[in-house]
Structure 1
Amino acid sequence: MDRADSASGSTADRLLPPGDFGVALAALRAHRGWSVRETARRVHVSEGQICNLESGTRNPTPAVAAACDAAFDADGQLVERARAGRRDTRAVEVVEAGPLVVGYERILQELKDVGRVGGPSFVLASMKSITRFLTDAGPNAEGERGANIWLLASRFAEYTGWMAQESGNSAEALNWTARAVRWGARGGDETVAAYALVRKACIAQHRGDAAAAVSFAGQAAEHPAATPEIRAHADRRAAQAYAHLGDSAACWEVLKRFRDHAAEAAGERAPYWGPRIENANLRLIEASCMLSLRRFGPAADLFAAEQHPDAPGDSNSRARFAVRRATALAGAGRIDEACLIAEAALPVIRRIDSATVRADLGRFVAQADTGRSGPGRRALLAESAALATG
């Protein structure tokens, strides 16, 4: 059962947030948890047309607007938005700024929930559409209410950058991160500039440039606007980068700082930037570092201890750490066990289509391909290699 089937009540039971037809469509898609493909199937148009409608590059015909309205059970609200054309952002008066921020904060959380389960293809179009509306509305609200709109636009941009990275586009990820910094500053929050350095460290790490990742993480930790939460994120990236460089001593030293900063951050208000550090599993971080340091046996044991069926986590995280466990097992010579775990994760990896998980899968293939595989193992490795390269 998808989220659409489990959602209670029709769209007419709640007021759509401000915005034109494309913004409203994006908000509804986020609430239902539908991909662009699923929405296009239900509306009987192409995926490209859904993206164009959400981005505002194309206006809906009356027939398409009616089909969208019916698909989302919108009780005429989408048809009304289509008739109005693109909303004049000057109509977003200062008095509306509070409800606007509250509404889109809820939608941002919904989009993050969808992204964790479905991957970047489910949410990127929606994120860009809503960000466009917020940056149009920001200049028309003044004082604190205007600042709150810019801060929200910054949060949308930061997550859009993360989803762009997960789709495999590092350049677009950096571009959205830079926008997040600019818009955060307009909202009066300089901490996003510190967190942006963490994001740059993450992007460098996934490009394979561990030295750059160490440098960016160090800059983030030393940034004057960095909070304990941001410093903990920076330490995590630095530890993993040092492990990739084979520097065990530096890796464990930074992990000690990670513990200190994570403890200091405990009880802080929910952060604007990045996931809550208190939800990070230190033992899985340590296992990932052991894997990079080629301590395969201890890494496999630690992954196994933390990956019991009742362990919390979204499907993306579970697939990622399952593949890392399989890689550690392969490195320890337990190839058959490794292949069973990797094979079980392939359907989720295929559905989510995360560049991060695909990179991990590529490392599994390299470690498990001993050249002495039977037909079944060769088929699995070939399938995994094809999926890893996208």
Structure 2
Amino acid sequence: MAYTSIGGTTAGSRSEGVELLKASRFLFDRYRQLGQVTRPTVVLPALIAQTHTLKEVAATAHPSIRQALFRLGSRYAEYVGWLVQESGDERGALWWTRQAVDLAAAGGDHHLAAYGLVRRALVTLYRGDPEQTVGLARQAQAEAVPQRVLGLAAQREAQGHAIGGDHAACMRSLDRARSLLARSASDSDEPVIGTSNLTDPVAMITGWCLYDLGRPAEAAPILDRELANISPQALRTRVRYGVRRALAYAAAGEIDHACHLIRGLLGDAVTVNSATIAIDLRHLTRVLGRHSRNAEVRALSPDLATALRLVTP
């Protein structure tokens, strides 16, 4: 039997399956790096092709390598789902998340189903639906899954409570997330589930949540501190939280500083072209619009409007 991969046509022996697994694992990290510095549509075709290759080869692969191929294929599919959401296609994102769960199950990994709920909760979070976000995150925490998945689910639950205005429940969920993520460890060579670009994800999400809870003056310095720890190469991550930081300062009344911060991000926002980042850009536009007499706002407005038009699907 032969299969076609990005590198060409190869016979499906065990040794070749092992080589495909090694090459695809190496490529996965490169694709994640590329996804940080360019728009989703640049990366998606290759990612989708590689996902299909892993799935097809795994179906007839030697039993000793089959499950590992399916599991890696599931991580490709999960990443595709995230980038599809970044491109503004929620339905497509949910479809790819289901594919990821199915591929993981075929590979003997039933934990990704719980993380699939966390991913679905990200979609409802950006829809502004606290009830579904909290419900999906709690459903994920009801599963017997690794500490990292539980921690990410608790973190998502906190974000759901934040958009619902429940400060106490949000802080309890963040405390639980910190405890769970501190206890999580993996010596596996499989890709890390969730972001790998935040040194302290719970601290960053605390700043994120405080803004949603109507406490922007508390959120801003936390976002300042955590943004300083993000690698310059993690451009998409820097823009995501940088826009949220500018939004926090604007909502706290520091309009000139907010304008200064966002001006330095507009070019990068267009480069990564994220539908989810565009949501915060729209919020920022509305906040700054209340200060239309401010000289910094007047100077920024044309560039902000252009950037928003370019990143909106």
Deviations 1:196-229 (A, max 9, x none): 11111111112222211111110111113x2100
Deviations 1:93-128 (A, max 9, x none): 233211111111101111111111223122100011
Aligned residue identity for 1:318: R
| Structure 2 CA distance for aligned equivalents of residues 264 and 278 of structure 1 | 17
For the 8 Å contact 1:232–1:261, the answer to whether it is kept is: yes
Q: Which of 265, 270, 277 is 2:184 aligned to?
A: 265
Q: Which of 106, 109, 114 is 1:194 aligned to?
A: 114
1:315 aligns with 2:235: yes
1:229 aligns with 2:212: no
State the match for 1:256 in structure 2: 175
Q: Percent of aligned pairs with the same residue?
A: 31
Aligned residue identity for 1:365: T
Aligned residue identity for 1:166: E
1:330, distance to aligned residue in structure 2 (A):
0.8
| Structure 2 CA distance for aligned equivalents of residues 106 and 215 of structure 1 | 36
| Structure 2 CA distance for aligned equivalents of residues 341 and 182 of structure 1 | 42
SS in 2 for 1:196: helix
For the 8 Å contact 1:266–1:278, the answer to whether it is kept is: no
Q: Which of 347, 350, 354 is 2:267 aligned to?
A: 347
Aligned residue identity for 2:131: A
SS in 2 for 1:274: coil
Gaps of 5+ in 2: none
| Structure 1 CA distance for aligned equivalents of residues 190 and 283 of structure 2 | 32
Aligned residue identity for 1:378: S
State the match for 2:161 in structure 1: 242
Aligned residue identity for 2:240: R
State the match for 2:299 in structure 1: 376
State the match for 1:66 in structure 2: none
| Structure 2 CA distance for aligned equivalents of residues 227 and 109 of structure 1 | 22
Aligned residue identity for 2:48: K
Aligned residue identity for 1:241: G
1:148, distance to aligned residue in structure 2 (A):
1.3
For the 8 Å contact 1:362–1:384, the answer to whether it is kept is: no
| Structure 2 CA distance for aligned equivalents of residues 278 and 365 of structure 1 | 26
State the match for 2:127 in structure 1: 207
Describe the shift of the 1:159–1:243 C-alpha distance in structure 2 as closer, same or farther (beyond 3 A): same
| Structure 2 CA distance for aligned equivalents of residues 117 and 324 of structure 1 | 18
Asked which structure has the greater CA Rg, the reply is 1
1:387, distance to aligned residue in structure 2 (A):
4.1
| Structure 1 CA distance for aligned equivalents of residues 246 and 195 of structure 2 | 26
1:295, distance to aligned residue in structure 2 (A):
0.6
Q: Which of 73, 76, 93 is 1:153 aligned to?
A: 73
TM, length-normalised to structure 1: 0.74
| Structure 2 CA distance for aligned equivalents of residues 338 and 365 of structure 1 | 11
1:385, distance to aligned residue in structure 2 (A):
4.1
Describe the shift of the 1:210–1:93 C-alpha distance in structure 2 as closer, same or farther (beyond 3 A): same
1:183 aligns with 2:99: no
**Bigger relative contact order, structure 1 or 2 (CA pairs below 8 A, ≥6 apart):** 2
| Structure 2 CA distance for aligned equivalents of residues 298 and 271 of structure 1 | 37
| Structure 2 CA distance for aligned equivalents of residues 301 and 246 of structure 1 | 20
Q: Which of 16, 23, 35 is 2:6 aligned to?
A: 23
| Structure 1 CA distance for aligned equivalents of residues 62 and 239 of structure 2 | 45
Aligned residue identity for 2:6: V
State the match for 1:334 in structure 2: 254
| Structure 1 CA distance for aligned equivalents of residues 65 and 42 of structure 2 | 30
| Structure 1 CA distance for aligned equivalents of residues 257 and 53 of structure 2 | 50
- How is 1:54-65 mapped onto 2 (pairs within 5 angstroms)? none
| Structure 1 CA distance for aligned equivalents of residues 304 and 37 of structure 2 | 25
State the match for 1:73 in structure 2: none
1:325, distance to aligned residue in structure 2 (A):
1.2
Aligned residue identity for 2:157: A
TM, length-normalised to structure 2: 0.91
For the 8 Å contact 1:339–1:380, the answer to whether it is kept is: no
1:386, distance to aligned residue in structure 2 (A):
2.5
Deviations 1:35-57 (A, max 9, x none): xxxxxxxxxxxxxxxxxxxxxxx
For the 8 Å contact 1:167–1:355, the answer to whether it is kept is: yes
1:132, distance to aligned residue in structure 2 (A):
1.6
Describe the shift of the 1:148–1:377 C-alpha distance in structure 2 as closer, same or farther (beyond 3 A): closer
| Structure 1 CA distance for aligned equivalents of residues 292 and 281 of structure 2 | 19
Describe the shift of the 1:222–1:107 C-alpha distance in structure 2 as closer, same or farther (beyond 3 A): same
For the 8 Å contact 2:243–2:281, the answer to whether it is kept is: yes
State the match for 1:129 in structure 2: 49
Q: Which of 292, 304, 314 is 2:224 aligned to?
A: 304
1:380, distance to aligned residue in structure 2 (A):
4.0
1:154, distance to aligned residue in structure 2 (A):
1.0
SS in 2 for 1:372: coil
